[in-house]
Chain A
Amino acid sequence: MTGQISYPDATQLAVPFFIAAILAEFLWIAVKKRGGRYETRDAVTSLIMGAGSVAEGLLLGFIAWALLMALWELTPLDMGTSIWAILACFVLDDLRYYWVHRLGHRVRWVWASHVNHHSSQHYNLTTALRQTWTGTFTFMMTVKAPMVLLGFHPALVLFCGGLNLIYQFWIHTEAVGRLPRWFEAVMNTPSHHRAHHGRNPRYLDCNYAGVFIVWDRMFGTFVPEQDHDRPDYGLVHNIATFNPLRVAFHEWIGIFKDMAQPGLTLKQRLLYAFAPPGYSHDGSRDTSAGIKAAHLARHPEDAGTPGFGG
């Protein structure tokens, strides 16, 4: 198909709103003395990561664009630009986001890009902006290919992806408790996403949704936030640096150091790149499954509860 269609870069246009919302959340926390924590260097690191992610998009976005436009030239389908096409694209893109996000936690190559988003021990609106600088290198833009082949213009697909990210901004907060039941049932909310950011064994590998939590309910990865097990934010092995370069690249360095160890088979080297995070050839590390099993060995009373098969 051919055709010139353009949409605004929603993420860039939202920058003033992001700044205003962060200030509002901080003031709310300061006045109410509850609803989250802010720390200067942590917040600045998150904001620099966000700025770097926008810069990466400006510098390398042409790669994804070229790929998607090449597919657009091939497809005979054209869904158009009606409101129904935009809505359908938004929902399909959210399904695409669910699976990319799930791969981002289950495949170390993709985790290396996504890990920095989870690397803060805080959870506030600045955490939402702690975004990757290396997304292009995961090649996850290929997961958008089916949408283009179905007839959604690349500009529309990228526009919907931007709206998806903007939606996710406001759910990175402890200032909002739980929302009405119907909303919590359908939509991703601060409560659901707090659980996603928890490093507690219960919350590992859950709630991958972007906008609609129904994907987690459908695919068996939904874990509700528990009042008796509040999410503890950060990584299983927390990083000890505020340096944005180290934040952005530490897991990539880890992959290459692991793959370069002497005496490994080719299969072991590949598993260090593509197996779930925590894989080790000698069993010296734990994947999320191992961490959950170790937790249940210490706390058998948790078996069958949410996040532990319940």
Chain B
Amino acid sequence: MPLELLLALVAGGISAIALLLHLTGRSRQAVLGTGSARTAWLRHFPGDSVIKVLPAASGQAALILTGNGPGLLWAFGADTAGRRLTAGQVRETADGLHFAFNDFAAPSLALPLPEGERRHWLAQIAATAEAA
């Protein structure tokens, strides 16, 4: 197959499929509540005992407090991603929290959170990390 034709097929095919999926609503993000966040966390970390789940009001993410320490679960497309947290990985920003996971497969995450919510999260992260 000529290279020009292969390139056109690949570029056209990817673009068409992306457009079709987007226009049919397949770009929607997962929205996390207490129950769905607990279930999703246990899917990622089946051995954990979940003590408390604090979903963000936006539904974009949830702070999970477990016997092994705090963790962050967040919407990753229609699915979720989760990582354990240490206090050093979390930084307060002007409009929320910034998480740096030191993981090439999980780039840092900027999560918008109202001031009251982020203060509460920071306190819970520090307390749970210390207790674990």
Residues of A within 8 A of B (CB): 9, 12-13, 15-16, 18-19, 22-23, 26, 30, 37-44, 47-48, 51, 54, 121-122, 126, 232, 234, 237-243, 246, 249-251, 253-254, 294-295, 298
- Per the bound structure, the CA–CA distance linking A251 and B104 in Å amounts to 8
A250 touches B26 (CB 8 A): no
Name which residue of chain B comes closest to A251, CB basis: B105
CB<8 Å pairs between A and B, sample of 16: A12-B1, A13-B1, A15-B10, A22-B17, A23-B17, A38-B21, A39-B21, A40-B22, A44-B17, A44-B18, A47-B13, A121-B79, A238-B44, A251-B105, A254-B105, A298-B46
Residues of B within 8 A of A (CB): 1, 6, 9-10, 13-14, 16-18, 20-22, 24, 26-27, 43-44, 46-47, 74, 76-79, 81-83, 101, 103-107, 109
- Per the bound structure, the CA–CA distance linking A44 and B26 in Å amounts to 12
Measured between beta carbons, the chain B residues less than 8 angstroms from A240 are: 74, 76, 81, 83, 101, 103, 105-107, 109
Known pairs A26-B21, A38-B21, A250-B105; A239 contacts B81 (CB<8 A): yes
Give the distance to chain B from A83, nearest Cβ to Cβ, in Å: 25
Known pairs A15-B9, A121-B79; A47 contacts B106 (CB<8 A): no
B18 touches A40 (CB 8 A): yes
Name which residue of chain A comes closest to B79, CB basis: A121
B20 touches A23 (CB 8 A): yes
- The one of B26, B81, B82 in contact with A39, judged by C-beta atoms closer than 8 angstroms, is B26
- Per the bound structure, the CA–CA distance linking A305 and B36 in Å amounts to 29
Give the distance to chain B from A6, nearest Cβ to Cβ, in Å: 14
Give the distance to chain A from B85, nearest Cβ to Cβ, in Å: 13
A242 touches B77 (CB 8 A): yes
- Per the bound structure, the CA–CA distance linking A29 and B94 in Å amounts to 43
